[in-house]
Structures are given as structure tokens and as C-alpha cells.
Amino acid sequence: MQFSDQVNQQAAEWFTLMQSGDVSASDREALQAWLGEHSDHDKAFKQMELLWQDLGDVADTAEGRALRQSVESESIAARLQQLLMAPLINLKNIFSVPTYVMALVVVCIAVGSLMLPTAKEPVTVYYSTQHGEIKTIVLADIVADAGRYFDGKIILQIGRS
Amino acid sequence: MSRFDGLSYAEISRTVGLSETVVRKHVTKALLECQKALQAQAGKNTQ
């Protein structure tokens, strides 16, 4: 069964939060509230639980070990490139502002990566919106999308922040 | 590391030098990527 990207994203976030050792009573209450909001939420969360179980089963197989070896043999540069190309997550629409002719927000992040000391060129990550759309980008997103260390600058190219 | 090695986010955080929040975000991304890959494969199998 497939759900919307938003529901899957939320389900994955809730699932990984529950996997952490830092779950408060209010987190649990909020999860229960989210699960009760729509039947898809409960199903999507259960799907994440099943996926997690399946991944655990794969870990003990020859394929799982081969996968792990292939990941470990990748260069750090390749890993960082994959990280930067990964889909942007956790960008939340707040509200639309119709007065903007064009609300294209681009955030450029130059990362002086201590993880990749051979990289001389700064790494740039772009975020953009559709016409009339506003997105909220939190620092944790930028750090996750940019790489190990956030050590750069943010440039608003078009629009307002 | 989280699923295959059973490490907690705190343990991974100390190992790789990322915050626990960032580790959790990466696990979330990985989980979603695995789900997409499985769904794509399932789609191919049904064709």
C-alpha cells in the first residue's frame, strides 16, 4: 500500500523518533494523536515497522553483508556527494503569500568540510519554492543536507526571508 | 549502523561525530529511500 510522500515522511520521522532513546510522554501523546488523525497514518507507521523488521532480516544474509561491504568501500567523497544529492526533507509549507510576483528562495551553503579535507571548492546546496510558496528551513535540515559540518554562508538570491 | 549493528543514535553520534538529531535525520532518509526502492521493485515485478 502506498501513501503520499508527506504521510510517509511523517511516518518515518515518527518511527525514528520512537527508535531513539529520547522519547518524552508528550512525544508519545503527539504520536497517538497523529496516528488517530487518519487511518493512513496508522498504516504508514506500521509499514515503517515492517520495513525496519525486513531490514533487520536482510542484515544477517549474504546480500546484507555484501551491501555493507559495498557501502564501506565507497570513498568519503562519494558518500558526501550522495548525501548532497539526496532529496530534501522536512521542508514545511506554512502559508502562501500571493503578493509575491515570484517567491523563489535559494539558499546557498558553502561548506568548509572538515570531513573532506581534500575538497577545495565549497559545496552548495540549493532550496527553492514554487510561485507563492513559502518554506521553512531549519538549521538541522541544512546540516543534514550539507554534510558533516555546517561552516558556510546562506544567501537569499530571490524573494524574501 | 543503526539497523545492521543495532547501535543507538547516541552511539552512532559518538562514532561518526554528528549530532543525534542529524543521525536520526539520516536514518529517516535511509528508511524512506529503502521504502522507495522496494516499492519501485514491487512495481517492476507486477509489470
The Cα A10–Cα A12 span in angstroms is: 5
The answer to whether A36 faces chain B, any CB pair under 8 Å, is: no
B-proximal residues of A, 99-128, CB under 8 Å: 115
Which residue of B4, B10, B25 is in closest CB contact with A59?
B4
Q: Is residue B33 part of a domain?
A: yes
Q: Which has more confidence, A66 or A121?
A: A66
Q: Is residue B2 part of a domain?
A: no
Question: Quick one: B37 exposed, middle or buried, by C-beta within 10 A (0-12, 13-18, 19+)?
Answer: exposed
Q: DSSP code of A98?
A: T
Domain ranges of chain A: 5-72, 86-161
Taking alpha carbons only, the member of B41, B35, B2, B40 closest to residue A10 is B35
A43-81 pLDDT, tens digit per residue, is 999 999 999 888 888 777 887 777 777 766 655 555 555
A1-51 pLDDT, tens digit per residue, is 778 889 999 999 999 999 887 789 999 999 999 999 999 999 999 999 999
Report the domain count for chain B. Answer: 1
Contacts of A21 in chain B (CB under 8 A): 8-10
H or E element in which residue A143 lies = helix A139-146
B13-43 pLDDT, tens digit per residue, is 888 888 888 989 999 999 999 888 888 887 7
Other Cβ atoms less than 10 A from the Cβ of B26: the count is 20
Q: Is A135 helix (H, G, I), strand (E, B) or coil?
A: strand
Q: Is residue B4 part of a domain?
A: no
Give residue B32's domain range: 9-46
Which residue of B20, B27, B32 is in closest CB contact with A9?
B32
The Cα A38–Cα B1 span in angstroms is: 32
Q: Is A47 helix (H, G, I), strand (E, B) or coil?
A: helix
Q: Is residue B20 part of a domain?
A: yes
Reading the block at residue A35, the C-alpha cell is 496516528
The answer to whether A39 faces chain B, any CB pair under 8 Å, is: no
The Cα A71–Cα B21 span in angstroms is: 22
Q: Is the pLDDT of residue A108 over 50?
A: no
Per-residue model confidence (pLDDT) at position A146? 65
Q: Is residue B36 part of a domain?
A: yes
The answer to whether A10 faces chain B, any CB pair under 8 Å, is: no
Per-residue model confidence (pLDDT) at position A76? 52
Q: Is residue B18 part of a domain?
A: yes
Q: Is residue B13 part of a domain?
A: yes
**CA A127 centroid distance within chain:** 13
Per-residue model confidence (pLDDT) at position A96? 46
The Cα B7–Cα B27 span in angstroms is: 12
Q: Which residue of B has its CA nearest to A15?
A: B28
The Cα B13–Cα B23 span in angstroms is: 6
Contacts of A20 in chain B (CB under 8 A): 8-9, 20, 24
Decide: A6 and A87 in contact? Cβ < 8 Å. Answer: no
Other Cβ atoms less than 10 A from the Cβ of A133: the count is 18
pLDDT band with cut points at 50, 70 and 90 for residue A110? very low
Q: Is residue B3 part of a domain?
A: no
The Cα A141–Cα A156 span in angstroms is: 16
